[in-house]
Amino acid sequence: MTTTYRIAGPADAPAVRALIESGYRGDSARQGWSHEADLLEGDRTNLEEVSAMIAAPEKRVLLAERDGALVGTVTITDLGGGKAYMGLLCVSPTLQAGGLGRALVSEVEALAVREFGAAAMELIVVDVRAELIAWYERRGYVRTGELRPFPLPMDVPYQMVVLERAIS
Domain boundaries, the chain: 3-122
3-122 has which fold?
Aminopeptidase (3.40.630)
- Would you state the pLDDT for residue 39? 52
**DSSP state string for 59-124:** EEEEEEEETTEEEEEEEEEEEETTEEEEEEEEE-GGGTTSSHHHHHHHHHHHHHHHHH--SEEEEE
Amino acid 136 reads Y
Q: How many CB atoms lie within 10 A of CB 151?
A: 11
Provide the residue-wise pLDDT of the chain in tens; the chain has 168 residues: 799 999 999 999 999 999 988 876 545 444 444 544 445 555 557 889 999 999 999 999 999 999 999 999 999 999 999 999 999 999 988 887 788 999 999 999 999 999 999 999 999 998 988 988 999 999 999 999 999 987 766 667 788 999 999 998
- Would you state the pLDDT for residue 30? 41
- Would you state the pLDDT for residue 45? 76
pTM of the predicted protein model:
0.86
Any idea of the CA torsion for 77, 155, 17, 111, to the nearest 10 degrees?
A: 20
- Would you state the pLDDT for residue 43? 55
- Would you state the pLDDT for residue 141? 98
**Distance between alpha carbon 129 and the CA centroid of its chain, in Å?**
14
- Would you state the pLDDT for residue 117? 98
